[in-house]
Amino acid sequence: MEPIGERFQRETKYDRSLKVSKTRLFAHPEQFKSYPDAPRVKLPAPPEEEGPGLWETMKERESVRSFSEAPISIEILARLLWSIAGVRKEEWGFLFRTVPSAGGLYPIETYIMANRVEGVEKGIYHLHVPTFSLELIKEGDHSPALTQAALGQNMVATSALTVIWTAVIDRCRIKYGERGFRYIYLDAGHAGQNLYLAATGLKLGCCTIGAFFDDEVNEIVGIDGIQETVLYMAAVGKRA
């Protein structure tokens, strides 16, 4: 039997001898996910200020897994979230953000588990991009459950917050068919690198996480794991 990885690569190839296939669905998924009944925390606009230069920031970027118990401010949180999903401009009905996305479709959704953020109660939040607000999905301390879902990696429990990236699959697949899965993972990677650089520029530690029990994280966030599924996570906080 052909391994699933090789089959995925083969079946999502573009071939000049074949017509490029695209999947057309009956309904296009909403461009932005929203929790209309959830309490919202409006994030402050990131200030325009100078920090470390780009080359210095890239040189200093590293994965940090040890965090102090010091909280971060909501202003710092806003800068981090703007770096991965902030709107730069609006054109042709698209909200272009700080990260690229295939076809401008932005299938990636951003959630956070707030652990120690001043001005933000502990809980699971969804980033509502158009209003740059956090929507509270689940109150309380979810760090023990998310730590266990992340194969027991203790940095999830000790960091100030954990970013959780998911994908609304059909938002990309409606244009690119099964090849859209390739683009979805690339989009998540763009966001992860932006978060690394932003955290480094803010003198914070960051470590992205690809090892987790998918269905456990999906349950914590409250998504079905099919139409929307977890892809990637990152722990962020002040260095120990």
Res 181 pLDDT > 70: yes
Quick check: 162 pLDDT over 90?
Answer: yes
pLDDT band at 90 (very low <50, low <70, confident <90, very high): confident
* DSSP code, position 28: P
In this prediction, residue 93 carries a pLDDT of 79
Is residue 74's pLDDT more than 70?
yes
Using pLDDT thresholds of 50, 70 and 90, give the confidence band for residue 52: confident
Residue tagged 């959830």 (tokens):
38
pLDDT of 34 strictly over 60: yes
Q: Tell me what the mean pLDDT of segment 73-91 comes to.
A: 95
Question: 150: Cβ–Cβ under 8 A, 6 or more apart, which residues?
Answer: 156, 209, 211, 212, 217, 233
pTM for the full predicted model:
0.93
Please report the domains of the chain, with CATH numbers, ordered by start residue: 47-237 (3.40.109.10)
21 pLDDT more than 60: no
**In this prediction, what percent of the chain has a pLDDT beyond 70?**
95
* Sequence-ordered alpha helix ranges (H) in the chain: 4-11, 54-60, 74-85, 143-149, 155-158, 169-176, 180-201, 214-221
Residue 26 in this model has a pLDDT that exceeds 70: no
Q: How far is CA 46 from CA 73, 101, 112, 198, in A?
A: 12, 22, 18, 12
14 pLDDT higher than 70:
yes
Handedness of CA 195, 207, 229, 71 (dihedral sign): negative
Pair 107, 166: CB distance under 8 Å: no
pLDDT for residue 66 is more than 60: yes
